[in-house]
Chains A and B, each alone.
Chain A
Amino acid sequence: MIELVKIRKVYRTGQVVYEALKGIHMKVNPGEFIAIMGPSGSGKSTLMNLLGCLDTPTEGFYFLEGEDVAGLSFDQLSEIRNKKIGFVFQSFNLLLYSTAFENIELPMLFDGIGRRERRERVEMLLERVGLKEWADHRPTEMSGGQQQRVAIARALANDPPIILADEPTGNLDSKSGKEIMDLFTELNREGKTILMVTHDHGIAGYARRKVEILDGQISTDTPNGFGHPTSPSPESPV
Chain B
Amino acid sequence: MRIHLLKLFLNESGKRRRKTGLITFALAWGSLSLLLLMSFGRGLSETFQESFKGLGDRLLIISGGQSSMVHQGLPKGRKISLYPEDVELIRAQAQGIRYISPESMTTLTLSYRGKETGRNVSGVYPEFANMRNQIPQEGGRFLNETDERERRRVVFLGWAVAENLFPDEEAVGKRVLINRVPFTVIGVMKKKLQTSSYEGTDAEMVYIPFSSYIQFQENRQIYMIHVEPESGGGAAGLEKKIKELLGRKYRFNPEDTYALNVWDTIEQAQEGAKVFMGIQIFLLLIGSLTLIIGAVGVTNLMYALVKERTREIGIKMALGAKRRHIVAQFLLETLLIFVRGTLWGGLVAFNIVGLVRLIPVDYDFTGVQSYLLRPVFSTDILVLFTVLMGVLVFFSGIFPALRASRLNPVDALRYE
CB of A202 within 8 Å of the partner chain? no
CB interface residues, A 193-212, toward B, < 8 Å: none
CB interface residues, A 167-204, toward B, < 8 Å: none
Q: Are the C-beta atoms of B413 and A89 separated by less than 8 Å? A: yes
CB interface residues, B 1-31, toward A, < 8 Å: 2, 4-5, 8, 11-12, 15-16
Q: Are the C-beta atoms of A87 and B319 separated by less than 8 Å? A: yes
**Smallest CB–CB gap between B220 and chain A, Å?**
91
List the B side residues contacting A78 at CB < 8 Å: 317, 320-323
Q: Complex: how many Å from CA A175 to CA B334?
A: 45
- The contact string, 1 if C-beta is below 8 Å from chain A, for chain B 137-156, is 00000000000000000000
Q: Are the C-beta atoms of B320 and A49 separated by less than 8 Å? A: no
List the A side residues contacting B319 at CB < 8 Å: 81-82, 87, 106-107, 110, 154
Q: Complex: how many Å from CA A17 to CA B317?
A: 27
Q: Complex: how many Å from CA A112 to CA B4?
A: 8
Q: Complex: how many Å from CA A228 to CA B274?
A: 88
Q: Are the C-beta atoms of B16 and A97 separated by less than 8 Å? A: yes
- The contact string, 1 if C-beta is below 8 Å from chain B, for chain A 103-130, is 0001101111011001000000000000
Of A54, A89, A98, the contact of B409 (CB 8 Å cutoff): A54
**Smallest CB–CB gap between B200 and chain A, Å?**
72
Q: Complex: how many Å from CA A107 to CA B5?
A: 11
CB of A93 within 8 Å of the partner chain? yes
Q: Are the C-beta atoms of A54 and B318 separated by less than 8 Å? A: yes
CB interface residues, A 63-118, toward B, < 8 Å: 74-75, 78-79, 81-83, 87, 89, 93-95, 97-98, 102, 106-107, 109-112, 114-115, 118
CB of A55 within 8 Å of the partner chain? yes
Of B2, B15, B320, B323, the contact of A97 (CB 8 Å cutoff): B15
- The contact string, 1 if C-beta is below 8 Å from chain B, for chain A 134-157, is 000000000000000000001000
CB of A52 within 8 Å of the partner chain? yes
Q: Complex: how many Å from CA A184 to CA B171?
A: 100
A106-B316 contact, Cβ under 8 Å, with A74-B323, A89-B413, A97-B16: yes
**Smallest CB–CB gap between A75 and chain B, Å?**
4
Q: Are the C-beta atoms of A83 and B413 separated by less than 8 Å? A: no
Q: Complex: how many Å from CA A107 to CA B320?
A: 6
Q: How many interface residues does B have (CB within 8 Å)?
A: 26
CB of B312 within 8 Å of the partner chain? yes
**Smallest CB–CB gap between A158 and chain B, Å?**
8
CB of B325 within 8 Å of the partner chain? yes
List the B side residues contacting A52 at CB < 8 Å: 318
**Smallest CB–CB gap between B18 and chain A, Å?**
12
Q: Are the C-beta atoms of B321 and A97 separated by less than 8 Å? A: no
Of B315, B316, B321, B410, the contact of A55 (CB 8 Å cutoff): B410
Q: Complex: how many Å from CA A111 to CA B409?
A: 18
CB interface residues, B 283-319, toward A, < 8 Å: 311-312, 314-319
Q: Which residue of B lies closest to A75 (CB)?
A: B322
- The contact string, 1 if C-beta is below 8 Å from chain A, for chain B 37-73, is 0000000000000000000000000000000000000
A81-B320 contact, Cβ under 8 Å, with A93-B315, A97-B16: yes
Q: Complex: how many Å from CA A14 to CA B323?
A: 27
Of B314, B320, B408, the contact of A111 (CB 8 Å cutoff): B320
Q: Which residue of A lies closest to B405 (CB)?
A: A74
Q: Which residue of A lies closest to B16 (CB)?
A: A97
Q: Complex: how many Å from CA A54 to CA B317?
A: 8
Of A55, A83, A93, the contact of B320 (CB 8 Å cutoff): A83
Q: Are the C-beta atoms of B315 and A95 separated by less than 8 Å? A: yes
Of B16, B318, B324, the contact of A87 (CB 8 Å cutoff): B318
Q: Are the C-beta atoms of B312 and A95 separated by less than 8 Å? A: yes
**Smallest CB–CB gap between A125 and chain B, Å?**
14
Q: Complex: how many Å from CA A127 to CA B27?
A: 46
Q: Complex: how many Å from CA A112 to CA B314?
A: 19
Q: Complex: how many Å from CA A32 to CA B79?
A: 115
Q: Which residue of A lies closest to B311 (CB)?
A: A93
Q: Complex: how many Å from CA A74 to CA B410?
A: 13
Q: Are the C-beta atoms of A110 and B410 separated by less than 8 Å? A: no
Of B2, B324, B410, the contact of A49 (CB 8 Å cutoff): B410
Q: Complex: how many Å from CA A146 to CA B319?
A: 19
**Smallest CB–CB gap between B317 and chain A, Å?**
7
List the B side residues contacting A109 at CB < 8 Å: 2, 4-5, 8
Q: A interface vs B, CB < 8 Å? A: 49, 52, 54-55, 74-75, 78-79, 81-83, 87, 89, 93-95, 97-98, 102, 106-107, 109-112, 114-115, 118, 154, 158
Give 6 closest A-B pairs by Cβ, nearest first: A82-B320, A110-B320, A75-B322, A97-B15, A107-B319, A54-B409
Q: B interface vs A, CB < 8 Å? A: 2, 4-5, 8, 11-12, 15-16, 311-312, 314-325, 408-410, 413
Pairs across A and B, CB under 8 Å, 28 listed: A52-B318, A54-B317, A54-B410, A74-B322, A75-B323, A78-B323, A79-B322, A81-B317, A81-B319, A87-B318, A87-B319, A93-B315, A93-B318, A95-B312, A102-B8, A106-B8, A106-B316, A107-B319, A107-B320, A109-B2, A109-B5, A110-B5, A110-B316, A110-B320, A110-B325, A112-B4, A114-B4, A118-B4
Given contacts A78-B321, A87-B319, A98-B12, 15 further A-B contacts (CB under 8 A): A49-B410, A54-B413, A75-B323, A81-B317, A81-B318, A82-B320, A93-B413, A94-B315, A95-B312, A102-B8, A106-B8, A107-B319, A109-B2, A110-B319, A111-B320
